[in-house]
Chain A
Amino acid sequence: LAKTTQPISMDSYEGQEVNITCSHNNIATNDYITWYQQFPSQGPRFIIQGYKTKVTNEVASLFIPADRKSSTLSLPRVSLSDTAVYYCLVGDVMDSSYKLIFGSGTRLLVRP
């Protein structure tokens, strides 16, 4: 399983764009990159998933360079309610014994 490295914490202000980068140097050919968001006392919530290039949904964008050794979660115009822990995970989602390994995540604090 590919190990991921993310910043422990980040600060931002309301209305700014936030980019959280995750390193996964040992990513395997079949691995996908998935991001989750977690608020206190709740389970993580799926945000976005990608394999290569760029993926966008109504919540975020995910940028993956050609070598796939890193990925960047982009949150446009954050609000106070985006304060949460964000986890980057890498794994072969098509493997029947697939399991996710959550790292420590990035604690994002959005200030007024």
Chain B
Amino acid sequence: DVKVTQSSRYLVKRTGEKVFLECVQDMDHENMFWYRQDPGLGLRLIYFSYDVKMKEKGDIPEGYSVSREKKERFSLILESASTNQTSMYLCASATYTGEQYFGPGTRLTVT
């Protein structure tokens, strides 16, 4: 079975802190994605990566950056956390046919 893991299920940070969210997949997928999900807004794509060191902006990249140094790991970085970044963050990796496998999610609260 494909396994996508995220570093934390719950995280509480203070405004202005730098936050790292880690995602690891074990299926050698080239494509990886970061989404955030908020009530009433569905899933929104933040960034995605289709190869090591390659990244593309999604629909809401502002306030975020990403890092893909190794194929299995895709990190989301909040340079200076703000309260409007309180959300559920979901990481996914995808097969070459576009099947996405999601991690369990990280519920981030910024106070």
- Nearest Cβ distance between residue A94 and chain B, in whole angstroms? 8
Q: Report the separation of the CA atoms of residues A49 and B104 in the bound assembly, to the nearest whole angstrom.
A: 22
Contact-size category for B: 20 to 34
B positions within 8 Å CB-CB of A: 4, 31, 33, 35, 42-45, 48, 50-51, 56, 58-59, 88, 90, 92, 94, 96-105
A positions within 8 Å CB-CB of B: 32, 34, 36, 41-46, 49, 87, 91, 93-94, 96-105
Q: Report the separation of the CA atoms of residues A103 and B40 in the bound assembly, to the nearest whole angstrom.
A: 11
Our pick among B45, B98, B102, B104 for the contact of A101 (Cβ within 8 Å) is: B45
B88 cross-chain contacts in A, Cβ below 8 A: 41
Q: Report the separation of the CA atoms of residues A45 and B90 in the bound assembly, to the nearest whole angstrom.
A: 12
Report the 3 A-B pairs with minimum CB-CB distance, sorted nearest first. A43-B102, A93-B98, A102-B43
Our pick among B56, B96, B99 for the contact of A99 (Cβ within 8 Å) is: B56
